[in-house]
Structure 1
């Protein structure tokens, strides 16, 4: 992330919490986060916004209900903080995440030029995502470790992915290698 960081880069974090105990624990550690509970398909059709359950609309951690009954039918609960300055939330979030699935996503990066390899720097889709305790950005594939995704713009010419070599070059610049296939 630091390799592509620029003055307007930002970070967002998100976690999926599957128990009331975890929701309340994480809310104590991240009181400024927004917590949004699960809603059933069609549950809010025709319901004015002001009449919708607060937990479904999203509640700041410091205002979450402590009564477990409020969470019935609302799990999992998503916890998120969006578009913050880089360096402002990453440590607190990774300390709070515990066994839950989550992600730290840095965006608005700018990958540098590498003219000797024919790569021209870019900022479109220049992002890094740290997946915690999961393998996917949907947070639906549990894992006992973490995964780093380096995002580059997808360009296919004559059936060949032209930006994949750029992803390998980026990894090499920070002493790493690409270990998995591309993801969409």
Structure 2
């Protein structure tokens, strides 16, 4: 089993520029199997309702406390906890008490089908667009074979970390490669540098593990 590590290669307060830059990197590795997923954390009922109006096809899921529904049949659990698409969201504000932030997601869609709409809808919330199923080419000049399993590009909105736990006023593009550590040193980091350079970017910070 292997893991990935993601390196920041671009950062800007302009979401449209961040998206176009991420797409440039993604297109370098895009293939017929490539897919895109989106995710956001919505901290208020107002934001849940706004995003549901703009992107109703997504799935919304509220928080639950550990063990809260142990032994409770799935059909008896609140729809907001199980997960529901926009049109099925509860109308009663009381249904959201203790359930915020609400998570929003759409997974494994065709590339190009959701990115612009999500960028417009994410607003001030933390979130991400993730392209996977890419194919990074061989880089013989730096001694690396290509790879597909960990070939991904992520665009982070309003945060600089993959865990979305550090709010920021800008947006960050990450390039993913396979993690291969020896004596605390990432042996495939030069490959991330090479990938960034192919589209006019550069690594601007340390790698981030999932």
Answer yes or no: is 1:175 the counterpart of 2:188: no
Q: Which has the higher contact order (CA 8 A, sep 6+)?
A: 2
TM-score, normalised to structure 2's length? 0.85
CA contact (8 A) 2:161 2:208 kept: no
Distance apart, 1:160 and its partner CA? 3.4
Deviations 1:101-131 (A, max 9, x none): 0000011110011222222111121111100
Q: Decide which structure has greater helix share.
A: 2
Q: Deviation per CA, 1:60-113: give whole Å up to 9, x if none.
A: 012112221111111110000000011100000010000000000011110011
- TM-score where L is the length of structure 1: 0.97
Deviations 1:124-145 (A, max 9, x none): 2111110000122222110000
Q: Give secondary structure in 2 for the equivalent of 1:27.
A: helix
Give the aligned partner of residue 33 of structure 1: 58
Q: What stretches of structure 1 move > 4 A for 4+ residues in a row?
A: none
Q: How do residues 16-165 of structure 1 correspond to structure 2 at under 5 angstroms?
A: 16-157=41-182, 159-165=184-190
Change (3 A) 1:43 1:174: same
Please state how far the C-alpha of 1:40 moved relative to its aligned partner: 1.1
Which stretch shows the higher mean deviation, 131-140 or 164-173? 131-140
Where 1:170 maps in the other structure, the secondary structure is helix
SS of alignment partner, residue 3 of structure 1: helix
- 8 Å Cα contact 1:11-1:107 kept in structure 2: yes
Equivalent-residue separation in structure 1 for 2:113 and 2:63 (angstroms): 27
User: What's the offset of the Cα at 1:159?
Assistant: 4.7
Q: Is the Cα contact below 8 Å between 1:131 and 1:147 reproduced in 2?
A: yes
Report SS of the residue matched to 1:134. coil
Contact 1:13-1:80 at 8 Å conserved across structures: yes
Q: CA RMSD in A?
A: 1.1
Aligned length: 184
> Secondary structure of 2:124's match?
coil
List gaps (5 residues or longer) in structure 1. none
